[in-house]
Amino acid sequence: MSTKSRPAPTKKAPRPAFRPRARSENLLRQMGVLRVVLIALVILDMLAAPRPGTAAVYSGWEVVTTLILPVLAPILLQVLLLDALMGRVMMSSAKGAERARYRRIMVVNLVFGAALVLWWLPYFLKLFAR
């Protein structure tokens, strides 16, 4: 048996929750899975939107594009705005890189919210002009 004592284990510095990297490779990772799914739903809702003036269809697969997607657009807008608000709340208590992360999240939510409104505006204007 050796009488040598073992050196005290060195503690590793705690790993930060957020490490800044290149923006393009890691923006999706910074946003998180639920926010990415939300943005994907917004994009799907925009791409499958019916043309302005399209009549509602009450049977078949056309129900999705003529009834469900127009109803989902305002709901998705509200969720985007709520997430932007929560990003602003979280940003107020964050510092440094975490603050920049919440700022990017807020900007992405607001940009997609504005895009959603502009995309669906002709449809709803035509719908309410009847």
Q: For residue 84, with 0-12 CB atoms within 10 Å meaning exposed, 13-18 middle and 19 or more buried, which class applies?
A: buried
Taking every pair of Cα atoms in the chain, the longest distance, rounded to a whole number of angstroms, is 94
Parse the chain into domains and list their residue ranges.
Answer: 30-128
Would you call 75 exposed, middle or buried from its count of C-beta atoms within 10 A (0-12, 13-18, 19+)? Answer: exposed
Over residues 108-122, the pLDDT tens digits come to: 999 999 999 999 999
Residues 32-90: pLDDT tens digits? 899 999 999 999 999 998 998 888 888 888 889 889 999 999 999 999 999 999 999 99
